[in-house]
Structure 1
Amino acid sequence: MKQHFTSALSQTFGRFASKEHGRIFQNMINRTYVRAMGLDMSDFEPPESYPSLNALFTRKFRHKRSFSHDPLDMISPCDSLITECGAINEDLALQIKGMSYSVDGVLGEGISSDSKKSIRNGTFVNFYLSPRDYHRYHAPIDMQVLHAVHIPGKLYPVNIPSLKKQVNLFIENERVILECLSAQGKRFFLILVGALNVGEMEVSFEPRIRTNSVLTPSQYSYRDLYLSKGDDFGCFRMGSTIVMLCEKEMLELGISTGHNVRFGQIIARLTSSR
C-alpha cells in the first residue's frame, strides 16, 4: 500500500515532538502544551523535567496508581472517554451513535474466522484518549496474549467530530490488534487504533511492530506471553483510541457511553465460569 497523506503529516509532527529543542525552548513548549491542553500533572513529574514533547506525551506515573486486585474486576486500561460501549449485534459494533462498523473488518485478515466468530454478540468498549490524557496503556485483567497483528493504514483523527463523519474510521486507520485470553479462558481483543499525529504506537513486548513507517501487514504468535492486571505494555505518541471486543457472556459492564474513566477504575465484572 502507498503512504497516505495523514501518515506523512503525522511523521512530520512526530519528528518535531521527538526532537530535544534545548532546555529553555523545550520548557516553553512543554509548559505551553500543558496549559493549552489542560493537563493534570499532579501524578507526574513537572513539565520542565521532560526533554521532548514525546517524553511528556508518554510520561509515566510518579507513584503507581492503585487498583482492585480482585481477579474478577476488570479495570480501565487507560485514561479516556468512553465514546461508545455495549453489545455487539452479530458482526456490528457502534463507532458512534447511528454509525456501526464491522467487527470482522476491524480485526482484518490476520485473525482467524473462528476467533472472529467467538465475539459475535459479545461486548465492545471504545476508549478515546484525547491529547490531554495520560497516553500509556495497561492490561485490564490478568491475560494471555496469543497473537499481535499490525495493519498499516490511514491516520484520520479519532475525535468525536471525526467519528461522526468518517465511515469505517476504525477499519481505515492503522491499528495493532492483540488477541488475548482471560484467566477464565474467554477470548477478547484489544485494538490500538492510530490517529492523526500519532507517530508511533509502542507495544513493549513486540519491538518488531513499527507503526507509521512499515507499509506491509505483519503478525506474531506467542506460546507463553502473560500480562498481569495493571502491567504497562506501551503507549501512544499522542491521543488515540483503544477498542476492546469481548466474547459473549465474558463480562458485565459497569460503565456507559459518555463516561470519563481513569486507568485502574473498575469498568466491568468478569463472569466466573469458564
Structure 2
Amino acid sequence: MHITNLISQYFGKFAKTQFPSFIQTIINNGYVKFLGLNMSEFKNPKHYKSLNLLFTRELEIAREINTDENVVISPTDSLITECGAVKDDTALQIKGMEYSVEELLTYDCSSNFDKVKNGSFMNFYLSPKDYHRYHAASDFTLKKLIHVPGKLYPVNLKYLNKELDLFVQNERVILECENNGKLFYMVFVGALNVGQMVFDFEPRVETNTNAQELKVYEYENLEISKGDCLGYFKMGSTVVMIWENDSVQIEELLNQNVKFGQKVATIN
C-alpha cells in the first residue's frame, strides 16, 4: 500500500468518528472558520455529527440549473484548472503537464479511443472548502463504470505542477456515458485525506481499500437525468470530463470558479 493511501485511511478514521457533541461542534466550527466555508446553503455546522458528514453535506437550498437539453452544466462546485482540446491522445492535468487519455481511461475503454481523440476536456478541482457532491452534467445513459485502484496524491495546484501523470497514477472511477449517440466520460480522481468516493447508484464500489484489481460494472438502460446527484467525495478532489470529438463547444473558463448547475459547454 502506498503511503498516501495509508495516511488517507488514518485520517478517514478520524473524520468519520462521532465525538461528543460539544467536541464535534468545536471541530466543525474550526474547520469552517479555518477554510472559510460558506454555509449559507447548508445546515448549521453543529448539525453534523462527524467531520465526514460536514464534508459530504447536502444542499438545503435547491440550485437553479439550466434545463436546456443542449447545455452541459458543471457537475461540481470547483475551480477549472485546465480545459481545451485533446490533442490526439494527450490532455493536460495543468499547463505543461501532459498525460495520456488512453492510460487515464484504461484499456477497458479501448474500443472508444478513436472517438475521444481530438475531443474536448475540462478539469474540475474541488478544494476542501467546496461542496463535495457531484452531479450529472447532462442527461445520459450510463454504459459502464470502471474502478481503478491507485495512489492518493494530493490534486491541488502544487502537485498538478509537480507530479507527472498524477491523474493516471491516482485511484479513480470512470463513468462511460452516452448522450444522443455521443460519447463522454466522467472521471472521478481520488486524493489525499480520506480518499473515498461514493456512488449512490453503485454500492459495490469501495475506494481507498487494499484492493489491487481493476473492476468493471456494465449497465443496460440506466438513465441519468441532468442535475441528479451521483455521489460524493469524502474530501476535495477532481472530476475530469472528456467528450467525443466535435460533440461539444466548451466555455472559456480556465482558472475560473464554477458552481454546480452553471453552464460549462454547449452540445453541438
TM-score norm. by structure 2 comes to 0.98
Structure 1 position 68, deviation (Å): 1.1
Residues 138-195 of structure 1, C-alpha deviation per residue, up to 9 Å, x if partnerless? Answer: 000001110000000000000000000100000000000000001x211000000000
Q: Is the 8 A contact 1:81 1:128 kept in 2?
A: yes
Partners of 1:117 and 1:12 lie apart in 2 by: 41
Q: Is the 8 A contact 1:198 1:240 kept in 2?
A: no
Q: Specify the alignment match of 1:231 in structure 2.
A: 228
> Which residues in structure 2 correspond to 1:18-97 (within 5 Å)?
18-97=16-95
Structure 1 position 109, deviation (Å): 2.6
Say if 2:215 is the partner of 1:218.
Answer: yes
Task: Letter of the 1:94 partner, please give it.
Answer: L
> Which residues in structure 2 correspond to 1:224-263 (within 5 Å)?
224-263=221-260
Say if 2:191 is the partner of 1:195.
Answer: yes
Q: Is the 8 A contact 1:85 1:126 kept in 2?
A: yes
Task: Letter of the 1:24 partner, please give it.
Answer: F
Q: Which runs of 4+ in 1 moved over 3 A?
A: none
Task: Letter of the 2:192 partner, please give it.
Answer: L
Residue 138 of structure 1: which of 130, 135, 140 is its match? Answer: 135
Residue 97 of structure 2: which of 96, 99, 120 is its match? Answer: 99
**What is the identity percentage for the equivalent residue pairs of Structure 1 and Structure 2?**
49
Partners of 1:162 and 1:71 lie apart in 2 by: 36
- Cα RMSD after superposing both structures: 0.8
TM-score norm. by structure 1 comes to 0.96
Structure 1 position 203, deviation (Å): 1.0
Aligned length: 267
Q: Is the 8 A contact 2:186 2:240 kept in 1?
A: yes
Name stretches of at least 5 consecutive residues in structure 1 with no aligned partner.
none
Task: Letter of the 2:190 partner, please give it.
Answer: G
Task: Letter of the 2:77 partner, please give it.
Answer: D
Q: Specify the alignment match of 1:17 in structure 2.
A: 15
Q: Is the 8 A contact 1:136 1:236 kept in 2?
A: yes
Partners of 2:114 and 2:14 lie apart in 1 by: 43
Structure 1 position 224, deviation (Å): 1.1
Structure 1 position 22, deviation (Å): 1.0
